[in-house]
Structure 1
Amino acid sequence: MKVSSMDESGKYDKANERLAQVKEEVGKVMVGQEDVIEQVLISILCDGNILLESNPGMGKTKMISTISKVLGLEFSRIQNTPDLMPSDITGTHIVDESADTTDFVFQKGPIFANMILADEINRATPKTQSALLEAMQEKQVTVGNNSYSLDDPFFLMATQNPIEQEGTYPLPEAQRDRFMMKVELDYPSLEEENKIVDRFTSELDFEPELENVISRSSLIRLQEFTRKVPIANDLREKAVNIASATREKEELDYGASPRASMNIVLASKARALIEGRNHVSEKDIKEVAKPVLRHRIGLSFQAEKQGMNEDKIIDQIIEQQ
């Protein structure tokens, strides 16, 4: 039993070491944003999609492309615009005249990669946004009468500008629910901004050599290992109670779905692994609750009028549990 326990402990230590290396490599490019990078890694470990929201110029695109390089994943970027068509994302059938006979062949779109960056997703029309739904949930796309599986692992990392900005379309509730987490990026501190300016203005093409820390197969094994991280029954119940409480709040027009309960538990397991622990703690649940829930609840008009926001409501719920 002792040997088995030591072996198990070694697995957690090795996983934590690898994940620490990932953060270290990403830090060669990114300045600050440690919490955001951790939340992106949590989503990746849970095989989930993530929504990043901030004003333009905050380094969202640079962050995702850097993480994909460090994880050795095939990266693809989709720039969403109002005239983007669903076929521009999924692909389309084209005429192949290379052989003696004319035939239709499927030409894959940019969705066929491991890590997809859907830049400014809320600038695409609702019809184009809906083209991403099947890929996000089913890990496949359907074109015509045929369905095509996406490579494993597959993640959709979408960026979004604040909805108040001109030329944006709000994401439908069904699509928001398919994002495991919504992460909000804030402006860097004065010290961090000075480092950013120095780093990216000293050389014409700043491109540090990044080490591929984790292979695709190793990442899939890490995802499987994440689900095995133990969580006490009372903490699992706490996670479910937090999500359930959003459906009873007077300040909310609607609350989170059961998918939120699952995602709080999964994200807590991933955070425990990143923090180097072999079990979920209460702090893990509290730390992941906001990014998991904030895009799944809808404030009532009265709550908005009183100056409330989603994070304040979630804080209240956590304190009451």
Structure 2
Amino acid sequence: MSTIPHPAAGSPTAPLGPPSSSPGPSPAVHFHAPDALRLFRECFHALADNVERVVMGKRDVVELALTCLFAEGHLLVEDVPGTGKTTLARALAASLDAQWQRVQFTPDLLPSDITGVSMFRQTTNTFEFLPGPVFANIVIGDEINRASPKTQSALLEVMEEGRVTVDGVAHPVPRPFMVVATQNPVDMSGTYPLPEAQLDRFLMRVTVGYPDHRSEVAVASGTAGAPAVESLPAIAAAHHIGEFIEVARQRVMASEPVVDYAVRIAQATRTSPHTRLGAGPRGSVSLIRAARVRAASQERAHLLPEDIKALAAPVLTHRLLLSPDAELAGWTAESVLADVLSAVPAPALGGMAKARA
């Protein structure tokens, strides 16, 4: 196991709002402030611009990763080797003035290497808990599906409840808390598929994909001018992220028609003839949480059906298990969800206007 702590000391933190002539740290942003949504939008796009300096040409993936962060969810990045999965996770962690740890998952990794262990101290004649790398604001799990299922299950409790129980004692992790895990496709040698219970704990699963021709030429020739991940400036501190989490949660209204729309989509995945397991209630809850962040990033105080449609694929596809007949017929989770979205009607615009009023 290798853990790399984030050097929080001495890293600059840029102001969240407009540039100010007075030095000093940025003030706290309260979710009840009249300009909270504007500050949220500025912080969101400043973080996206900062990460995109390293992960070029992948603005949509970067914004999905930030949506996970502000929705207090966890992100699973799946793709073939060499597409920048770990770079995305490291750039996101480097953009925050917060504590972060990186764990390289290997077949011989043990659960206690992640969560921590109780050690007996002879000097005090007591057991002392030594926290593992999971006690950080952002935990990067590199190639998580190369560890055994026993080690993978060590993250189940902390990803759902924000705490680790060792010897009957619960130890809370700091807030905000986010797991950014990368994995290779399950058909590659030496990988263990993640169990359904752990997949369901990830708010989103995204694919970085190959860069476009221009970006790849710039990277290969070394003329991109992109800084190294280690030299990225910190844009926001951990306590600012905690405040903005409350902005998205408290200031963005989820009207009943939009919530009903998200629930009907999740229910339709369970009754689809192409699935043997659809998205559960956690899926619909996650969809609304992510949609609130998307609306706040656009400085909107209300949800739209477009927010649900835009986030349905990254939030729901990894929660679907296809039936054997559907797999033989060539169906994928993405095609099944597209079929569901076309069959479930969105709320009428008139009803949305009344909800906003």
Q: Aligned partners of 1:69 and 1:308: how far apart in 2?
A: 38
Q: Aligned partners of 1:60 and 1:73: how far apart in 2?
A: 20
Can you list the C-alpha shifts for 1:183-225, whole angstroms capped at 9, x where unaligned? 122111111111222348989x945743322221111111111
In structure 1, the partner of 2:20 is: none
Q: 1:94 to 1:22 in 2, by over 3 A?
A: same
1:279 aligns with 2:321: no
Q: Aligned partners of 2:106 and 2:194: how far apart in 1?
A: 14
Out of 145, 150, 154, the position equivalent to 1:122 is 145
Q: Aligned partners of 1:202 and 1:319: how far apart in 2?
A: 43
In structure 2, the partner of 1:268 is: 291
Where in structure 2 are the equivalents of 1:78-93 lying within 5 Å? Answer: 78-93=103-118
In structure 2, the partner of 1:23 is: 48
Q: Structure 1 residues 25-34 or 175-184, which shifts more?
A: 25-34
In structure 1, the partner of 2:27 is: none
1:225 aligns with 2:235: no
| Count of equivalent residues | 312
Q: Aligned partners of 1:136 and 1:283: how far apart in 2?
A: 28
Q: 1:70 to 1:249 in 2, by over 3 A?
A: same
TM-score normalised by length of structure 2: 0.83
- Secondary structure in 2 aligned to 1:29? coil
In structure 2, the partner of 1:239 is: 262
In structure 2, the partner of 1:70 is: 95
CA contact (8 A) 1:247 1:256 kept: yes
CA contact (8 A) 1:69 1:210 kept: yes
Which amino acid is 1:221 matched to? E
- Secondary structure in 2 aligned to 1:295? helix
Q: Aligned partners of 2:342 and 2:140: how far apart in 1?
A: 35
CA contact (8 A) 2:79 2:208 kept: yes
CA contact (8 A) 1:49 1:181 kept: yes
1:159 aligns with 2:182: yes
- Secondary structure in 2 aligned to 1:157? strand
Could you tell me which runs of 5 or more consecutive residues in structure 1 were left unpaired when the two chains were aligned.
Answer: 1-6
- Secondary structure in 1 aligned to 2:97? coil
Q: 1:106 to 1:118 in 2, by over 3 A?
A: same
Where in structure 2 are the equivalents of 1:1-321 lying within 5 Å? Answer: 10-96=35-121, 99=123, 101=124, 103-199=126-222, 206=228, 209-228=231-250, 229-321=252-344
Q: Aligned partners of 1:208 and 1:172: how far apart in 2?
A: 33
1:79: how far off?
A: 0.9
Q: Aligned partners of 2:160 and 2:233: how far apart in 1?
A: 30
Which amino acid is 2:325 matched to? Q
- Secondary structure in 1 aligned to 2:118? strand
Q: Aligned partners of 1:190 and 1:178: how far apart in 2?
A: 35
CA contact (8 A) 2:140 2:180 kept: yes
Q: Aligned partners of 1:10 and 1:142: how far apart in 2?
A: 40
CA-based RMSD: 2.0
CA contact (8 A) 1:242 1:318 kept: yes
Which amino acid is 1:211 matched to? P
TM-score normalised by length of structure 1: 0.91
Q: Aligned partners of 1:206 and 1:185: how far apart in 2?
A: 19
Can you list the C-alpha shifts for 1:139-169, whole angstroms capped at 9, x where unaligned? 1112223221111111111111100001111
